[in-house]
Amino acid sequence: MELKDIYNNLPYDLAGSRTKNRFDFEVLYGIEQLIDNYNKMDNYYVVFDYVCDIELHYDNKLKFYQVKTSDTGKSNKVSFLTNKKSDNSQSIIGRIYSISGKTEEEKENISVLLVSNAPLVNNQYATKSNEIILLDQIDPDVKKKIIEHLQKETNQETINLKNIYYLYRNVGVQDFENSILGKLSKFYEEEKKCSINKPTVLLDSIKLIAMNKAKYEKECNFEDLYRNKAISKNEFTDMVNYHHSQHNDFNKKSEEQITNLTNDNFSFQIKCIKALTEIISGKDKKKNEFIDLICDTIKKDIELGYANSLKDYAMSFKSNHQDIKFSIYDDDSTVFTMVIYCVEKIKEEMK
């Protein structure tokens, strides 16, 4: 059976009710799939919020991720899966089961994961963080309750849970975003063989596109689905390549300038290169604020005209600008590096 035929047999669910936190979590989870599967598959599509919250389409297979976030800090019990808001509504497990495939052939090509930031209590055992459990293999008493509920909700005598999973992700939305930022930075550096400049800019650009895909609320035929609701591996590659083309030359020039100016002091040079890597990563938000302040100061100095060489100017910057309250952790090599970085940044802005 072709992927198109399998997919067209499934009920879609556009724009369900959700909090901002859950929406952000969904989008970030989809971005994580773009990163995690990059070197595992020749091609794939991550679909945002159509049949399921997040979908991975690859090699004639479908992997669905139904995302549920909670702010209570409590574990989920079986009732979390089986409760219904009204007689006419679906339970969580009912919704998941409805997209898990009807025939054996469909179930062979579909897997469904309920992703939650709360563990599932499986009798006396609570799932561990990042642990995936197959509902077909959980405690027999718990499994029996799920099956009996589905028999009643679906009016089906035979219930097959062999392709339905529960995944516990013990992470809040803000922590998750920081985790994805770190994962994206590592991926970029491994793929491009260089440090990433402004990783938050790359993540924000991917998030914006993903959010627009998720917010598209019109019914799609299969031919339009990937254009309106998905990001492909090739499109993700293009985003990364574009970021690289926009920022890589600037990084190289900063590193080359620092290397040239410190070639008479190898130990100092090593410290500067390490400091540059940290600056380029953009992870230290306080340091990012200092970068903006130093740039403004350098622009004023340029207007006044400083007579020193660039090396001397950078070396004496901290002592000559005591109004800038550097952190006690910003040693001479860090300040020197920030000044050189800012000079190159100003040059880039003037182009």
Structure tokens at 111: 């897997």
Residue-wise pLDDT for 173-212, tens only, equals 778 899 999 999 999 989 987 778 788 989 999 999 999 9
67 lies in the same domain as 201: yes
315 lies in the same domain as 176: no
Domain span at 271: 262-350
Averaged over 92-100, what is the pLDDT? 94
176 lies in the same domain as 325: no
CA 45 to CA 224: how far, in whole Å?
13
Residue-wise pLDDT for 319-343, tens only, equals 999 998 888 888 999 999 999 999 9
Residue-wise pLDDT for 59-69, tens only, equals 999 999 999 88
Q: Mean pLDDT of all residues in the chain?
A: 88
pLDDT above 70 coverage of the chain, percent = 96
Residue 249 within a domain: no
Averaged over 14-37, what is the pLDDT? 83
**CATH code (residue 88):** 3.40.1350
Non-local CB neighbours of 11 within 8 Å, separated by 6+ positions: 51, 98, 99
Is 70 exceeded by the pLDDT of residue 242?
yes
Measured CA to CA in angstroms, residue 350 lies from 166, 258, 344, 345, 347 at distances of 53, 20, 10, 9, 5
CA 59 to CA 141: how far, in whole Å?
36
Selected residue with higher pLDDT from 350 and 137? 137
pTM: 0.74
Averaged over 297-309, what is the pLDDT? 85
Q: In this predicted structure, what is the pLDDT of residue 339?
A: 95
199 lies in the same domain as 332: no
Cβ neighbours around 35 below 10 Å, total: 17
Q: In this predicted structure, what is the pLDDT of residue 280?
A: 77
CA 219 to CA 241: how far, in whole Å?
31
Residue 180 within a domain: yes
Residue 234 within a domain: yes
236 lies in the same domain as 269: no
Averaged over 24-42, what is the pLDDT? 95
- Asked if 161 contacts 143 with a C-beta cutoff of 8 angstroms, the reply is yes
337 lies in the same domain as 292: yes
Q: Three-class SS of residue 113? A: strand
Structure tokens at 165: 């999973």
Residue 117 within a domain: yes
Phi, psi of 51 (to 5 degrees): -70, -40
Residue 190 within a domain: yes
Question: Domain boundary at 193, 208, 240, which?
Answer: 240
Selected residue with higher pLDDT from 238 and 9? 238
Is 70 exceeded by the pLDDT of residue 155?
yes
* Confidence band for 6, pLDDT divided at 50, 70 and 90: confident
Residue 296 within a domain: yes
**Considering its fold, how many domains does the chain have in total?**
2
Q: Are strands 110-116 and 61-68 parallel, antiparallel or unpaired?
A: parallel
Is 60 exceeded by the pLDDT of residue 16?
no
Selected residue with higher pLDDT from 246 and 277? 277
Q: In this predicted structure, what is the pLDDT of residue 15?
A: 54
Residue 332 within a domain: yes
333 lies in the same domain as 207: no
Q: In this predicted structure, what is the pLDDT of residue 267?
A: 95
Q: In this predicted structure, what is the pLDDT of residue 48?
A: 95
Q: In this predicted structure, what is the pLDDT of residue 197?
A: 74
Q: In this predicted structure, what is the pLDDT of residue 19?
A: 67
267 lies in the same domain as 209: no
234 lies in the same domain as 281: no
Q: In this predicted structure, what is the pLDDT of residue 14?
A: 61
Q: In this predicted structure, what is the pLDDT of residue 5?
A: 83
Helices assigned H by DSSP within the chain: 3-8, 20-36, 78-82, 92-98, 104-109, 140-154, 173-192, 199-215, 222-229, 233-261, 266-281, 285-304, 310-315, 317-320, 332-350
Averaged over 306-322, what is the pLDDT? 89
* Confidence band for 70, pLDDT divided at 50, 70 and 90: confident
Residue 206, amino acid: I
Residue 110 within a domain: yes
Q: Which residues are bridge partners to 133 per DSSP?
A: 166
Q: In this predicted structure, what is the pLDDT of residue 88?
A: 82
Q: What Rg, from alpha-carbon coordinates, does the chain have?
A: 26
